[in-house]
A and B are shown apart, each in its own frame.
Chain A
């Protein structure tokens, strides 16, 4: 019969709120703390040294207290209980209906020792005081830290003031850090966050074997978000612990620079939690409602996000609201409500936003009712699709604010009232669907930097995406295969025929002669970075200044030096390129492939105008 508190007893109770009285209950021994009478019954805090829960002894047990069997700071074995929710607060309430007194009052409130638990909260201090590992007595120094985990920020401050030097060292861990302050070089922190997104558990297989992984999106009070990932054991440990919408204290995670390919959240860093990380539910913190932080993208800058993974926030004036439509989901034939709204912003462009389910019926209806007042809406976390050029779609985690009291909304309102409502507004989709069809519409639509393309490897996953870039040719390797033998009629690749001549598979006949057509890899650079692009015949001819046949002549007749000079002359020349970006699989690896679709010389007047426009967008802070 144990005469010690069962480790994680409270967690066991929390996990099983209504035990079957006949089923085998695990050993649950807790310490009775803060025992006080309320009327005829006794209330206390049931503690397992790590967590506490408010508790009540059923009236039948009151005699045990009066007789002195159950004492404050004593231990009881809980034999039967019910765990209820307190309706007004986010707290649990334990009603003990049957128990045994195990021990009389201990000297002090029991705090879970390092040796007893595997992931005790007290580790930080103990690791530094390795000398004392053997001692059973929970060091006094641990006490304030323990209390903090389950107390409010006000209590933390109170405890800090009430303690001397030891607390100072622990103060760093006690204080809740804002998410925005986390970095990979400072490992001692505790954050208080709400789970605003929870992914599914996925299994994977790589060279090291199999594994499972899931991630959560965490948001703190300031609205900063970060993604936290857990693998294998940690994943199994925390998957059930993390629940959507609940608030947790987390510490001992590690940070690294976010992999842009997979991120959906605006943060330079992402977090990994392992089995040593600590996650404690903040049971009495219903007050952490993260302030929604927006990072608006103007409608005319949505182009580069089409079909990408990154989510956008937008703000605009509502132009129209559609009635509710019923859409049948292909995957399970379920019908879900949908509503489309059209918004406009100061870029004089409009875009369609699709709202689904609750957003369609609740906010959507609200917007329909006030549509004639042209309300301003701010929407967070939208997916960018390519329907009709550009389309925005809400997700379950999207947040919509109607007529928010923010400076951007005020600016938009005054723009709309003074000029917006009278100017002709064009759908942004028109600019983009045109360019996608022709591929070479304008060298100024979807103008991006090279780093925008190379930093996002998920671009063009399903369908190729198009961009315009201005870049310099930085290298053309002379010793690459830069042309192929092509049929003079259909330009397809020909193979050497048995005998003489060439066989064209496309034309199904033998030709005596073939032409050479360029297919080369060229390295280009701009101010943001560099990338390799593939260039086909027409564009390469413009860039090199001669046909592939002519270049071959130079190589054979004039020598290697002249050939290399011809390539060198093409280097460091700036061009405007229209490129397509697609994702290919190569040896089981996903590779980004950038292909030049059109090339044009720089029109300096137009380029200057474009640059001036970009410059005026930069806010100069004094």
Chain B
């Protein structure tokens, strides 16, 4: 397992702290353009994810890639997370993983 470049759990608010670095986020798909997806982050903000989204994507998708601005991600890995997802729990995890428990992740 390659642990050399860990991806930080982010929502929209945390994304700006990791611009240029590797991140992972769960997005609710709003619009699918084929080359990118407009989605809603777990803290209810709009994000753009560029790359090759899965066909077809489920309602929720996890993306892992480089944050290229504080509102967009260049995704390398896409995973369909299904249509049922507890957004608030994930959001709390993002906050804990970057706050009190950061030492366990990065």
Interface residues in chain A, defined as those with a beta carbon under 8 Å from any beta carbon in chain B = 604-605, 608-609, 612, 615-616, 620
B100 contacts A608, CB within 8 Å?
A: no
Q: How far is the CA of A605 from the CA of B87 in the complex (A)?
A: 9
A612 contacts B100, CB within 8 Å?
A: no
Most buried by A among B89, B92, B96, B100: B89
Report the nearest A residue to B86, measured CB to CB.
A605
Report the nearest B residue to A613, measured CB to CB.
B92
Collect the chain A residues with CB atoms within 8 Å of residue B101's CB.
615, 620
Q: Is B93 an interface residue (CB 8 A)?
A: yes
Which bracket fits the contact residues of B? under 10
Q: How far is the CB of B26 from chain A (nearest CB, A)?
A: 13
Q: How far is the CA of A615 from the CA of B92 in the complex (A)?
A: 11
Q: How far is the CA of A609 from the CA of B96 in the complex (A)?
A: 13
> B78-106 vs A: 1/0 string, CB under 8 Å?
00000010100100110010001100000
B100 contacts A609, CB within 8 Å?
A: no
Collect the chain B residues with CB atoms within 8 Å of residue A612's CB.
89, 92-93, 96
Collect the chain B residues with CB atoms within 8 Å of residue A604's CB.
86
A620 contacts B100, CB within 8 Å?
A: yes
Q: How far is the CA of A266 from the CA of B9 in the complex (A)?
A: 40
Collect the chain B residues with CB atoms within 8 Å of residue A615's CB.
96, 101
Q: How far is the CB of B102 from chain A (nearest CB, A)?
A: 10
Across the interface, A605 reaches (CB within 8 A) one of B89, B93, B96, namely B89
Collect the chain A residues with CB atoms within 8 Å of residue B96's CB.
612, 615-616
Q: How far is the CA of A608 from the CA of B84 in the complex (A)?
A: 14
Q: How far is the CA of A616 from the CA of B99 in the complex (A)?
A: 11
Further pairs besides A612-B89, A616-B96: 15, Cβ < 8 Å:
A604-B86, A605-B84, A605-B86, A605-B89, A608-B86, A608-B89, A609-B86, A609-B89, A612-B92, A612-B93, A612-B96, A615-B96, A615-B101, A620-B100, A620-B101
Collect the chain A residues with CB atoms within 8 Å of residue B84's CB.
605
The 3 closest A-B pairs by CB, nearest first: A605-B86, A608-B89, A620-B100
Most buried by A among B86, B93, B96: B86
Q: How far is the CB of A328 from chain B (nearest CB, A)?
A: 54
Q: How far is the CB of B85 from chain A (nearest CB, A)?
A: 8
Report the nearest A residue to B84, measured CB to CB.
A605
Q: How far is the CA of A620 from the CA of B99 in the complex (A)?
A: 10
Q: How far is the CB of A112 from chain B (nearest CB, A)?
A: 60
Collect the chain A residues with CB atoms within 8 Å of residue B100's CB.
620
Q: List 8 A-B contacts (CB under 8 A).
A: A605-B84, A608-B86, A612-B89, A612-B92, A612-B93, A615-B101, A616-B96, A620-B100
Q: How far is the CA of A615 from the CA of B97 in the complex (A)?
A: 11
Collect the chain B residues with CB atoms within 8 Å of residue A605's CB.
84, 86, 89
Q: How far is the CA of A71 from the CA of B69 in the complex (A)?
A: 99
Report the nearest A residue to B92, measured CB to CB.
A612
> B20-44 vs A: 1/0 string, CB under 8 Å?
0000000000000000000000000
Collect the chain A residues with CB atoms within 8 Å of residue B89's CB.
605, 608-609, 612
| Chain B stretch 38-94: residues in CB contact (< 8 A) with chain A | 84, 86, 89, 92-93
Report the nearest B residue to A618, measured CB to CB.
B100
Report the nearest A residue to B93, measured CB to CB.
A612
Report the nearest A residue to B85, measured CB to CB.
A605
Collect the chain B residues with CB atoms within 8 Å of residue A608's CB.
86, 89
Q: How far is the CA of A612 from the CA of B100 in the complex (A)?
A: 13
Collect the chain A residues with CB atoms within 8 Å of residue B93's CB.
612
Collect the chain B residues with CB atoms within 8 Å of residue A609's CB.
86, 89
Q: How far is the CA of A417 from the CA of B53 in the complex (A)?
A: 53
Q: How far is the CA of A604 from the CA of B92 in the complex (A)?
A: 15
Report the nearest B residue to A619, measured CB to CB.
B100
Q: How far is the CB of A501 from chain B (nearest CB, A)?
A: 51
Q: How far is the CA of A605 from the CA of B96 in the complex (A)?
A: 17
Q: How far is the CA of A336 from the CA of B29 in the complex (A)?
A: 69
Q: How far is the CA of A143 from the CA of B88 in the complex (A)?
A: 72
Collect the chain A residues with CB atoms within 8 Å of residue B86's CB.
604-605, 608-609
Q: How far is the CA of A615 from the CA of B96 in the complex (A)?
A: 9
Q: How far is the CB of B40 from chain A (nearest CB, A)?
A: 18
Q: How far is the CB of B52 from chain A (nearest CB, A)?
A: 28
Q: How far is the CA of A620 from the CA of B102 in the complex (A)?
A: 11
Collect the chain A residues with CB atoms within 8 Å of residue B92's CB.
612
Q: How far is the CA of A609 from the CA of B92 in the complex (A)?
A: 9
Q: How far is the CA of A71 from the CA of B93 in the complex (A)?
A: 84
Q: How far is the CB of B88 from chain A (nearest CB, A)?
A: 8
Q: How far is the CA of A616 from the CA of B93 in the complex (A)?
A: 10
Q: How far is the CA of A604 from the CA of B89 in the complex (A)?
A: 10
Q: How far is the CB of A622 from chain B (nearest CB, A)?
A: 9
Report the nearest B residue to A611, measured CB to CB.
B89
Report the nearest B residue to A605, measured CB to CB.
B86
